[in-house]
Amino acid sequence: MEDSFRKLYSVDPEKIVEGINEIKSKYPTLSEEEIPAVVEALSSLFYVDPFDNPEMTKVIDDVQQLIADIGPRAIPTILEKIHNTDIKAELAFARTCGLMGKEAIEPLLDVIIEKSDTIDMSFALYAFGKIRSPEIVKALPHVLKAVKSPMKESEDTAVRAMGKIFENIKPGDVSDEDIQEVYDVFLAKTYHGNEVIRSKSIRGLNKMLQFGFINKGDKPAILNRAKTALGLEDSEDWDPSYLVRREAQQVLDKHQ
């Protein structure tokens, strides 16, 4: 395996691909002891900037899929790596968890439950938003709890994760009580002091409307909030953030 690892360090993309393919041919039989080294070696490519090295874009995508194919057994090593990483690699690690699909849900839930208000929890919340499976509904109660976190990063990623969850489920997958709670949280956070959280909250309400989670009685309140943010109807409580007003305009364009 070490010979394959060394090929990953090459400046020649073809040599790197050769190393990746060698590892890929062996990974179905990897032992638990071998997995951390394999994940660490492969994920070293996540630090390559595809903007400066466009020929590496597909290589990095392939590596994400390969680590995802290893499955939840790769998650402990991923969690170790995110503590000393940069934004490129962190996003790649999150996409990798997303590619694992429903298999990543339980391990990531364990992170949220056991490591609340930590960088691990923020990462798990972000990774939830990358998972495309209706089973992500399991995470909703924990995301609702995380949205009240005193850590801005956890609060921000929890708001985003709630919106992403509603892209992957149907109204019958979640209780009316949970839908109402999410609606109340989103609406309240459209007045948050942070413009990014305000914008994501309006976007979340937009998604709830789009995917049929909002009843007719609550829809006017969302439209009125969007109008207020835009300063329409002589409202003096308009939002100074272009980011927020952009999201508000999209609500009106789609649902008014």
Question: What are 46-98's pLDDT values in tens digits?
Answer: 999 999 999 999 999 999 999 999 999 999 999 999 988 899 999 999 999 99
Give the pLDDT confidence score for residue 150 in this predicted structure. Answer: 84
Nearest to 161 by CA among 78, 69, 114, 97: 97
**How big is the CA angle at 121 (ends 118 and 123), to the nearest 5 degrees?**
110
Residue 181: how many CB atoms within 10 A of its CB? 16
The Cα 168–Cα 105 span in angstroms is 13
Residue range 237-252: average pLDDT?
96
Is 207 exposed, middle or buried (CB count within 10 Å of its CB: 0-12, 13-18, 19+)? middle
Alpha-carbon distances, residue 20 vs 65, 92, 247 (angstroms): 11, 17, 42
Could you tell me the pLDDT band of residue 220, with boundaries at 50, 70 and 90?
very high
Give the pLDDT confidence score for residue 237 in this predicted structure. Answer: 79
| Packing angle, helices 105-114 and 119-128, rounded to 10 | 150
At residue 13, what are phi and psi to the nearest 5 degrees?
-55, -35
Query: Has residue 233 got a pLDDT over 80?
Result: no
Residue range 192-219: average pLDDT?
96
Give the pLDDT confidence score for residue 62 in this predicted structure. Answer: 95
Residue range 211-228: average pLDDT?
94
Give the pLDDT confidence score for residue 240 in this predicted structure. Answer: 94
Report the mean per-residue pLDDT for the chain: 93
Give the pLDDT confidence score for residue 115 in this predicted structure. Answer: 83
pTM: 0.88
The Cα 218–Cα 232 span in angstroms is 19
